[in-house]
Amino acid sequence: MVGSALLRRLRNEDCTIVTASRKVLDLRDAKATRDWLALTRPDTVFCAAAHVGGIHANNARPADFIRDNIEIQASVIHGAYQAGVEKLVFLGSSCIYPREAPQPIPEAALLTGPLEPTNQWYAIAKIAGILQCRAYRRQYGCDYISAMPSNLYGPGDNYHPTDSHVVGALIQRFHEAKTAGYPEVKVWGSGRPRREFLHVDDCADALVFLARHYSDEEHVNIGSGTDLTIAALADLVARTVGYEGRFDFDRSQPDGTPRKLLDVRRLNELGWRPRIALAEGLADAYADYRDGIAATPDAKIA
């Protein structure tokens, strides 16, 4: 999802883009990754590839999440260093912060307390990636930076009923209920956790901005600066999709962390702000789902 958004964003720049699809290059394979980077010799690398998923997927497959992410980032960061890559932007996530972090969460909250258990596997891998970039800067002088986006949504999202993040899941479930005429939709958890959402095109724009204007050891939060409850999000998604039935909360499913609103002052002070409001972004995400996956039922379970 982020990789595709970066391609859309970089089309407006004077640069040659080199990509490697999953079929061509397995980034967990350090040698293959090193060889590919040595051959293509990019000036800048965006390390957006990761094994990602929502609260259920993280909880259900902790080994995949911790292993794949550590392998991917170790191959890419070390391969970039060996190939003489000048700039690397490593992507993490707001789940790297302690569960009880102060809100909004400043960058300095990293490693100040215990993590949220449902996604600690992914978080630990991403924390290792941030520290790897810092270590390569200190020891080898590499200009490698890290960016921490809040919860992302938008075109190219995963709409799997159980493995996706909340926006993709709710778009899929409300659309299915509208189409099939179901009277009720289940939303996981209590509806009370708060989340901050950022459209993936805004995220890609911030990543290009940071690649150009930021060079330091400390990672940088990327977010919209506002959050809402999952109940309010469900209401907004239902209206976007045009679902007129009820929705109810399935309290047997986990809530995860109560809140993770990012403190985005550092990014704002550098001169970047998001452009896409949530209602507008959700309409765009729903159009992507309706005209893509929902229109080709064989591709439903990606």
The catalytic residue positions are 122
Nearer to ligand GDP, 209 or 286 (CB): 286
Of 256, 262, 263, 278, the one binding ligand GDP (CB under 6 A) is: 256
Should residue 188 be labelled a site residue for ligand GDP when binding is judged by CB under 6 A? Answer: yes
Nearer to ligand GDP, 208 or 237 (CB): 237
Of 187, 210, 238, 278, the one binding ligand GDP (CB under 6 A) is: 187
Should residue 123 be labelled a site residue for ligand GDP when binding is judged by CB under 6 A? Answer: no
Query: Considering the complex, what minimum distance in angstroms separates the CB of residue 29 from ligand GDP?
Result: 28
Of 98, 149, 189, 281, the one binding ligand GDP (CB under 6 A) is: 189
Of 55, 72, 130, 145, the one binding ligand GDP (CB under 6 A) is: 55
Pseudo-torsion of CA 246, 251, 253, 254, nearest 10°?
Answer: 120
CB 251 within 8 A of CB 192: no
Query: Considering the complex, what minimum distance in angstroms separates the CB of residue 95 from ligand GDP?
Result: 5
Should residue 101 be labelled a site residue for ligand GDP when binding is judged by CB under 6 A? Answer: no
Closest CA to 200 of 117, 289, 274, 267: 274
Should residue 46 be labelled a site residue for ligand GDP when binding is judged by CB under 6 A? Answer: no
| Residue count, binding to ligand GDP (CB under 6 A) | 21
Query: Distance between CA atoms of 277 and 108, rounded to whole angstroms?
Result: 27
Should residue 92 be labelled a site residue for ligand GDP when binding is judged by CB under 6 A? Answer: no
CB 292 within 8 A of CB 157: no
Should residue 165 be labelled a site residue for ligand GDP when binding is judged by CB under 6 A? Answer: yes
Nearer to ligand GDP, 48 or 145 (CB): 48
Should residue 221 be labelled a site residue for ligand GDP when binding is judged by CB under 6 A? Answer: no
Should residue 253 be labelled a site residue for ligand GDP when binding is judged by CB under 6 A? Answer: yes
Of 33, 69, 73, 151, the one binding ligand GDP (CB under 6 A) is: 151
Q: What is the 3-state secondary structure (H, E, C) of the chain?
A: CHHHHHHHHHCCCCCCCCCCCCCCCCCCCHHHHHHHHHHHCCCEEEECCCCCCCHHHHHHCHHHHHHHHHHHHHHHHHHHHHCCCCEEEEECCHHHCCCCCCCCECHHHCCCCCCCHHHHHHHHHHHHHHHHHHHHHHHHCCEEEEEEECEEECCCCCCCCCCCCHHHHHHHHHHHHHHHCCCEEEEECCCCCEECEEEHHHHHHHHHHHHHHCCCCCCEEECCCCCEEHHHHHHHHHHHHCCCCEEEEECCCCCCCCECCECCHHHHHHCCCCCCCHHHHHHHHHHHHHHCHHHCHHHCCC
Region near ligand GDP per CB under 6 A, out of 20-28, 43-51, 161-169, 240-248: 161-169
Should residue 230 be labelled a site residue for ligand GDP when binding is judged by CB under 6 A? Answer: yes
Should residue 255 be labelled a site residue for ligand GDP when binding is judged by CB under 6 A? Answer: yes
Should residue 120 be labelled a site residue for ligand GDP when binding is judged by CB under 6 A? Answer: no
Tell me which residues touch ligand GDP (CB under 6 A).
54-56, 95, 119, 151, 164-166, 169-170, 187-189, 193, 195, 230, 253-256
